[in-house]
Structure 1
Amino acid sequence: MKRIIEQKFAVPYTYPVIFSENIFNVGDQTLADLLDNGKGGKAFFVIDSGVSDSHPELISQVKAYATAHQEKFKLCAEPLIVPGGEASKNDPQYYEKVVEATHLYGIDRHSYIVAIGGGAVLDMVGFAAAVSHRGIRLVRIPTTVLSQNDSAVGVKNGINFFGKKNYLGTFAPPFAVLNDFNFLKTLDDRDWRSGISEAIKVALIKDLDFFEWIEKNATALASREMEPMQELIVKCAQMHLDHIAGKDPFEMGSSRPLDFGHWAAHKMEHLSKYEIRHGEAVAMGIALDSTYSFLKGMLTEGELNRIISMISELGFNLYHEVLSGEMLLKGLEEFREHLGGELTIMLLSKLGKGQEVHEMDQSLVLEAVEKLKVFQSDRLIAN
């Protein structure tokens, strides 16, 4: 006897992405309300070491805030400090420490893990939360431009393994995302700039008006003016959320439009031993794929020059030595494997409009690299 019972159901996901300031002011109810499960919620904080170093008062603020709102939630342990950046994702001991904490302190599906930090730390903590008890409520408090406008608002979590970025990971929406713009004030110039590349990415493939807005405000953004940065973050976050709510939020297919510029970026990060930061690599990846689009006859020279000029004006490099050689081309094959066998790369048919292709001419990729080297040289001479 043969029988087939087909199961089909849909699960709605809802989570708020909040933009605010001074979230640990004891008079602000936002975080306390999020951590209130109606029974005195239990919360465990994991903090990026770069954030705790830049904000030495943060741990005492967290404790004072918890004391002031103890009727809504309580701290179950001292906050855990973990290294910032890719170090937190490269070494499994940090993910294991978060998982161990869920065991030691009885952190269950009715409790909360609160992650404060940059995108890498949020990725790692999110993975630990997602696999512990099949999913503990995660509240993300992103502290960089890159995490506030891109990685923290999405549904991805992961750690690096086998020398590959995000090899282990999950799709698990957060319970909430709480952005505090005040954290941006202590970023160094590289981290301030890095997150802008993700805004350039979504603008180039989806929204010409947004691209032209970034173009117009490039000098102000590079000069660390807060008002345009806040506007950029909210707009970029909204565009990412709109995309996630579309047809393929868990990326079951091979279409990855939000990975524009990323196939090369991920390889550059790895080849540089993560000396190149993600946003910096994405900026060079965007420049590379835009130049390739021009060489394929998809973009005009004028359109390419606008892209290259804006990326340069924002302070990004256009070329790094890790772009040269066959190892970069290996990134194409790794990306094909990551997508399940069919290569799908997002290129540009014009400013504000992406176009997917399923093959890349390797000789043109190398030619695009050489053009970026010239662009970078010309920029150094001009300066």
Structure 2
Amino acid sequence: MKHLELDLGARSYPIFIAPGILGDGALWLKYIRGQQVCIVSNDTIAPLYLASLKQQLADKSVCEVILPDGESHKTLAVLENIFDTLLQANHNRSTTLIALGGGVVGDMCGFAAACYQRGVQFIQIPTTLLAMVDSSVGGKTGVNHPLGKNMIGAFHQPNCVLADLNLLNTLPDREFSAGMAEVIKYGLICDADFFVWLEQNMSALMGRDTELLSEAVYRCCVNKANVVADDEREGGRRAILNLGHTFGHAIETAEGYGNWLHGEAVAAGTALALALSVKMGWLPPEVEKRGLALLVQADLPIAPPPNMNVDQFLQLMGRDKKVLDGQLRLILLTGLGEAVVSSEASVEIISQVLLAAGVGA
């Protein structure tokens, strides 16, 4: 088993990574502080793993909320289901919420935990690769708005993260590839050695080699934990974790949440960020080629939707959370494993990159 700590002082917490650890109650049940537990899952994951989880909670007072699956349901209206269940079951401030699912479930469960009675505890049990390497770690929670992705939320850290690699056995190939977009991101932004390792092992990773997956998830979590420990609330360096996300969120919003998976949109957005970094003269074209080749090897898209146009992209990007004082800040690369947050890319240059990528005028 691999184990690391996300160092946030009194709010530090462990991340456990191994196959089969969902069934090891001795490892993680101690992170439930009280007797009341509410499991939040969705109608895809619950039939697969809810019974196994409830077996570990036999001595607790347990209720459950089964949400509809999909990014299109990551809304305030659907979030109300969690609050309704908690209130109907008379859960108090000592309750612990457990997120059993991918990034949507984790974000919604965490946001509910941040809001219910002004903040209760929760545990992350991610069931997708993307959630294991990214969204379950770091305390970002929230829901989407029709005008922008993840625009309503809170920072709220979990008690622990339990990454049981066996839960990936039922993950569809498309979802697995989507998660790999976030894996590749860490190599590009802050860990050149990891990027080289991914180049050497991507074929076996796509074949779901458990030992290699364990190492990949661990390396991603170490990188994210280090960045979050330095900048928990994204006042500075943490923004580099959003490589490709400003472009990607525009794609998700324009195409309708869930039509493009988050990782797919991030992959296309990363390709645009690489191209823009080269256009700015900051990144050697060879690094762009290697980044694109790795995304393609992971069965990810590297072109944006052809039905989008430049004005639509720019309008949606202008609503991004990284816009500061009217300036669009993008995550760009100055080298392999070297990312910066920059406002230097002009609208003209961004437009040129979008047009070159096939976006409509």
Question: How far, CA to CA, are the matches of 1:132 and 1:61 in structure 2?
Answer: 26
- Alignment-derived partner of residue 379 in structure 1: none
Q: Which residue of the other structure, out of 26, 29, 32, is the alignment partner of 1:32?
A: 29
- Written as runs of structure 1 = structure 2, the 5 A alignment for 1:156-235 is 156-235=140-219
Describe the superposition over 1:61-85 as per-residue Cα deviations: whole angstroms up to 9, x where unpaired.
Answer: 2333323xx2xxx1333x2211222
Code of the aligned partner of 2:67: V
The corresponding residue for 2:5 is: none
Corresponding residue of 2:332: 347
Confirm whether residue 75 of structure 1 aligns to residue 61 of structure 2.
yes
String of CA shifts for 1:195-254, please: whole Å, max 9, x gaps. 1111222211211111111111122222332322221111101111110000x3112459
Unaligned runs of 5+ in 1: 1-9, 375-383
Q: 1:266 aligns with which of 227, 233, 249?
A: 249
Are residues 212 and 312 of structure 1, via their aligned partners in 2, closer, same or farther at CA, if it must alter by over 3 Å?
A: same
Fraction of identical pairs, as percent: 30
Q: What TM-score does the superposition give when structure 2 sets the normalisation length?
A: 0.90
Whether the aligned pair in 1 keeps the contact of 2:16 and 2:161 (CA below 8 Å) is: yes
Equivalent position SS for 1:154: coil
Deviates more, 1:42-51 or 1:327-336: 327-336
Partner of 1:22: 20
Q: Please state how far the C-alpha of 1:348 moved relative to its aligned partner.
A: 0.9
Contact 1:18 1:178 in 2 (8 A): yes
Aligned in 2, Cα 1:64/1:332: closer, same or farther, shift over 3 Å? closer
Do structure 1's residue 102 and structure 2's residue 86 form an aligned pair? yes
1:59 is matched with which residue?
Answer: 50
Q: Counterpart in 1 of 2:223?
A: 239
Number of the residue aligned with 1:84: 69
Deviations 1:283-322 (A, max 9, x none): 1111101011111211222222111111111111111225
Of the three residues 307, 313, 330, the one matched with 1:328 is 313
Shift of 1:332: 3.0
Measured in 2, the distance between the counterparts of 1:337 and 1:218 equals 31
Matched with 2:4 is none
Amino acid at match of 2:286: G
Match of 2:35 in 1: 41
Residue 157 of structure 1 contacts residue 171 of structure 1 at CA under 8 Å; is this kept in 2?
Answer: yes
Between the aligned partners of 1:61 and 1:336, the Cα distance in structure 2 is 38
Cα pair 1:84 1:118 within 8 Å, conserved: no
Identify if the C-alpha distance between structure 1 residues 154 and 322 changes in structure 2 by more than 3 Å, giving closer, same or farther: farther
Gaps of 5+ in 2: 1-7
Equivalents in 2 of 1:161, 1:318: separation in Å?
Answer: 26
Q: Which amino acid aligns with 2:45?
A: V
**Are the aligned partners of 2:278 and 2:284 in contact in 1 as well (CA < 8 Å)?**
yes
- Give the drift of 1:361: 2.7
Task: Check whether the contact 1:254–1:340 (CA below 8 A) recurs between aligned residues.
Answer: no
Structure 2 distance, partners of 1:139, 1:19, is 14
Q: Distance in 2 between matches of 1:255 and 1:115?
A: 23
Q: CA RMSD in A?
A: 2.2
Separation of aligned partners in 1, 2:268 and 2:74: 22
Give, in angstroms, the shift of residue 137 of structure 1: 0.7
Amino acid at match of 1:45: I
Amino acid paired to 1:66: L
The amino acid that maps onto 2:101 is G
1:326-383 Cα distance to aligned partner (Å, 9 max, x none): 2011133222774453432221111111133213233332332344449xxxxxxxxx
Deviation of 1:138 (Å): 0.4
Is the 1:154–1:244 contact (alpha carbons within 8 Å) kept by the matching residues of 2?
Answer: yes
Distance in 1, Cα, partners of 2:310 & 2:136: 33
The CA deviation at 1:52 is 2.2
**3-state SS of the aligned residue for 2:10?**
coil
User: Do 2:227 and 2:237's aligned partners in 1 also have CA atoms closer than 8 Å?
Assistant: no
Whichever residue aligns with residue 75 of structure 1, its letter is S
User: 1:162 and 1:106 mapped to 2: Cα distance?
Assistant: 32
| Distance in 2 separating the partners of 1:65 and 1:201 | 35
One-letter identity of the residue aligned with 1:353: E
Higher alpha-carbon Rg:
1
Read off the aligned partner of 1:21 and give its amino acid letter.
Answer: P
CA separation of 1:339/1:226 partners in 2, compared to 1, >3 Å: closer, same or farther?
Answer: farther
How far the C-alpha of 1:86 sits from its partner, in A, is 1.2
Contact 2:25 2:56 in 1 (8 A): no
